[in-house]
Amino acid sequence: MDDAALLIAELLSRRWLPRSHPRVKRALVDAELFAQVEQRLAQSGLRWMDSIYADHVSVALLPAAQNSVLGEAGLNANNNLELPRDAQALLVVLWALIILPKRERQTSRVEEADLGQNDMFPSAKPLPVARSVSPVVSYKALLEDYGPQLGKKVRMDVNLRLLERHGFIARKQDEIAEGPLLDVLLDYDVLAPRILDGALADVLARERAQREAEEAAESASASANALDKTPDTLADAAAPTSAPAPDAEAQAAPPVSPEPPWRPEPDAAAPDAQSYVQSVTEPPLAPDVTETIEAAIDDFIDERATTRPSPEEH
C-alpha cells in the first residue's frame, strides 16, 4: 500500500489530521502525492478539505454526491451529523465568536501577544498559526448572552457536548476553544458574508454609529475645555503679580529712604586735574602791577642816561 492510500485510510478513520502529521506534511509539499490523493478521493465521491488558516485537514463529500447521499429533504442536504436546530444555531454562534476574530488577526499578521501594537511591515510577517490567535469563549458569558434563545443551560450543555464530540469545539473547564473541524468544514467565504452583512449588519451598524457618536462627543468636549481654559490662562498671564501684604511691624516702622549707590570718596592728598598746569604756568599779573613795573623800567632808563659819561670826558 502506497503513501496516498495510507493517508486516505487514516483520514477516513480519524476524520481529521493535524497539518504537522508526517504524511500530511509530505502531501502538502509533494505535488505528485497530493494529486494522487485528490484523484483517489474523487473516485470515492470525496474531496480534500484544507485551509491555510486552519491547523487540521479533513475530507468531505463532493457537491455532486451530496444530493444522492444526503438527500434533498429538510436539513439532510447540509447536515449528515443529525444536529438539532438549536445545536446548529449554537454552532453558527460559536463560529462567529471564534473564527471571525481569528481570521481578522491572521490576515493582519497580529498575534494575541501583539494586540495594541502597530507593526511597520505587517505583510512581511508569517501567517500566525490558529492556536496562537484563536480566541476563547467563556461558558458563563455564552450562557448569559445566548442561553434564553438556545434552550437555556440544560439544552446548551447537551449541544456543547455534541459539538465537542464531532470535533467542532474543544472545552477546558469553563472555556470554549476552536476544535479541529470548526474552520475546516464550515466555508468562510459563504458563511461570513451572511453573518456580517445579514444577521450582524444591524448590530455592527449600531455599534459603528455609537462609536462615531462617542468619538464626536469626546472631541467636542475636548475643544470646549480648551476654549474654556484659554481666557483664564490669558487673564492670569496678563494680570500683574500682587506683592505680598506687609507685616504689622513693617507698617508701624517709619519709611526708610533708600541709600544712594556707593561711590568712591575723593582722595584729599591727590591734586585735581588742573594742579599740574598751574604748577608749570605763571599766573597772569594784575594790571596795576604791570603799570608799576613799566614805570620803574622807564625811570631806570632815564636815570642811566643822565649818569652815563660823554665821549669827550674820556
Look up residue 212 and give its three cell numbers.
462615531
- pLDDT of residue 25 exceeding 80, the answer is yes
- Report which listed range, 96-110, 200-214, 229-243, is most confident: 96-110
Higher-pLDDT residue of 211, 313: 211
299's CB contacts (< 8 A; 6+ apart) are none
15: nearest Cα among 158, 165, 177: 165
pLDDT at 248 over 70: no
| SS3 readout for 242-258 | CCCCCCHHHHHCCCCCC
- 169, with CB counted inside 10 A (0-12, 13-18, 19+), is buried
* pLDDT classification of 132: cutoffs 50, 70, 90: confident
**Which runs of consecutive H residues, i.e. helices, occur in 149-284?**
152-165, 188-194, 201-238, 248-252, 275-280
What average pLDDT does this structure show over 113-121?
Answer: 50
CB 166 within 8 A of CB 81: yes
Closest CA to 9 of 37, 39, 42, 32: 37
Cα–Cα distances (Å) from 275 to 242, 270, 281, in that order, read 56, 10, 10
Torsion region of 19: left, alpha or beta (phi above 0 gives left; psi -120 to 50 gives alpha): alpha
**Long-range contact pairs involving 84-91 (C-beta distance under 8 Å, separation at least 24):** 84/159, 86/150, 86/151, 86/155, 86/159, 87/159, 87/162, 87/163, 89/149, 89/150, 90/146, 90/150, 90/156, 90/159, 90/160, 90/163, 91/163, 91/168, 91/186
* 3-class state of residue 34 by DSSP: helix
Report pLDDT for 65.
82
Burial class (CB in 10 A: 0-12, 13-18, 19+), 160: buried
Residue type, 261: P
Q: How much is the pLDDT for 313?
A: 47
Q: How far apart are CA 225 and CA 227, in angstroms?
A: 5
Residue range 163-190, pLDDT digits in tens: 999 999 999 888 999 999 999 988 888 8
